[in-house]
Structure 1
Amino acid sequence: MIILKEITRDNFDEVINLSVSDQQKNYIASNMYSLAQAKAQPECVPLAIYNDSNLVGFLMYCMDFDDKEYWIYRVMIDKKHQKMGYGRKAMECLLETLMKDTAHDKVYISFEPENLVAKKLYDELGFVADGRIVEGEIVYCLQYRNANIE
């Protein structure tokens, strides 16, 4: 069962030691950078992804400071735990939480154009390209009210 947990002194070292494969390193900032970003940008919410009691990944979302919309800034599954469905389940768990916010009706995510695995996952979750490229990344949007997350 996938659980999203706060990052604390108890799991901090484990979280920063998670890593992706060498070919994925250009797709995502390090967890250390992400945690520093969350400190400087308190609107960011970093979370550890657990499969039961085993740490398998990291994600970070925020209510964007500029556009006042939800953005998923990071989603990473450690290289030892990939291809087991944890990324999808973590996204579904996060989206379920975000969709409870009735004051908003969409969430954004962006990704490197070469990251076809991420594109496939986001397509399957109902995200669609919104036509923007931000800092070289394709921007996708999911409308809450139209989403079909199971």
Structure 2
Amino acid sequence: MITLQEIHMEQFWDVIDLSVRPEQAEFCTSNAVSIAQSKVQSECIPLAIYDGETPVGFLMYCVDRDDGEWWIYRLMVDARFQGRGCGTAALALVLERMRADATRSRVFLGVHRQAAAAVALYERAGFRFTGQVFGAEHIMRLDW
């Protein structure tokens, strides 16, 4: 069963050691950098993705300070656990948390268009490209 859990000292190194496939590395900021970012951007909520007792990925989301909208800043599943539905389940869980906030009705994320598996995951969840591009990331939005 996939769950999202706060990151504490006990599992910190396990989360830091998670990584995507080498060919995906250019599309994904490291978990160490993301956790550091969450310490200087207090709006960011970093979470470990667990399958039972095993850490399998990392997710970070927030209400962005620039536009006041929900954003998924990071979603990664370790190479050993990809293709098992962990990303789909984690995305559904974080979207459920976001939907509980009745003051917002959409969520954004940035993705590299070359990251075909990530694009497919987000499109299956209902995200659509907005036409905006920030650096190398193309922006997608989900409305509810």
Shorter-chain-normalised TM-score: which range? Answer: over 0.9
1:98 aligns with 2:91: no
For residues 125 and 78 of structure 2, what CA distance do their matches in structure 1 show? Answer: 21
Aligned counterparts, 1:59-70, within 5 A: 59-70=59-70
For residues 12 and 121 of structure 2, what CA distance do their matches in structure 1 show? Answer: 27
Residue 85 of structure 1 aligns with which residue? 85
Cα RMSD (Å): 0.6
TM-score, normalised with respect to structure 1: 0.94
For residues 52 and 98 of structure 1, what CA distance do their matches in structure 2 show? Answer: 23
TM-score, normalised with respect to structure 2: 0.98
Residue 15 of structure 1 aligns with which residue? 15
Q: CA deviation at 1:136?
A: 1.8
Q: CA deviation at 1:58?
A: 0.3
Alignment-mate amino acid for residue 72 of structure 1: I
Structure 1's unaligned 5+ residue stretches are 145-150
Residue 73 of structure 2 aligns with which residue? 73
Per-residue CA deviation, residues 62-112 of structure 1 (Å, 9 max, x unaligned), is 110100101000000011111101000000011011101000000001101
For residues 78 and 128 of structure 2, what CA distance do their matches in structure 1 show? Answer: 26
For residues 27 and 47 of structure 2, what CA distance do their matches in structure 1 show? Answer: 19
Residue 147 of structure 1 aligns with which residue? none
SS for the counterpart of 1:26 is: helix
Residue 48 of structure 1 aligns with which residue? 48
SS for the counterpart of 1:109 is: strand
Per-residue CA deviation, residues 115-148 of structure 1 (Å, 9 max, x unaligned), is 111111111100011110011211000012xxxx
Q: Following TM superposition, where does structure 1 have runs of at least 4 consecutive aligned residues deviating by more than 3 angstroms?
A: none
Q: Percent identity over the alignment?
A: 41
For residues 114 and 130 of structure 1, what CA distance do their matches in structure 2 show? Answer: 16
Q: CA deviation at 1:53?
A: 1.1
For residues 102 and 44 of structure 1, what CA distance do their matches in structure 2 show? Answer: 19
Residue 124 of structure 1 aligns with which residue? 124
